[in-house]
Amino acid sequence: MSVEVIFVTALLAAGVGAALGLAVFFRRAGGFSVDLHLGPLWVEVRVGRGET
């Protein structure tokens, strides 16, 4: 796998079971991606060139 996890925050649980998480990945091909999730919603932002 070409992705290395550098930093992952702890999950913060809310009273209704929603969780907030943030992960930052640095890719060997260059660039990085940021993953953010809030309950069922998941957002990924990628910066840099595509992997081959």
Q: Is residue 41 part of a domain?
A: yes
Q: Is residue 24 part of a domain?
A: yes
- What values do phi and psi take at 6, rounded to 5? -100, -45
Residue 4 pLDDT class (50, 70, 90 cuts): very low
Q: Is residue 16 part of a domain?
A: yes
Task: State the total domains in the chain.
Answer: 1
Q: pTM for the full model?
A: 0.45
Name the residue with tokens 């309950």: 39
Segments forming the whole domain that contains residue 39: 3-47
Q: Is residue 52 part of a domain?
A: no
Q: Is residue 17 part of a domain?
A: yes
Q: Is residue 39 part of a domain?
A: yes
User: Distance (Å, rounded) from C-alpha 33 to C-alpha 49?
Assistant: 11
Average pLDDT for the chain: 61
Tell me the Ramachandran region of residue 31: left when phi exceeds 0, alpha when psi lies from -120 to 50, beta otherwise: left
Residue 49 pLDDT class (50, 70, 90 cuts): low
Q: Is residue 7 part of a domain?
A: yes
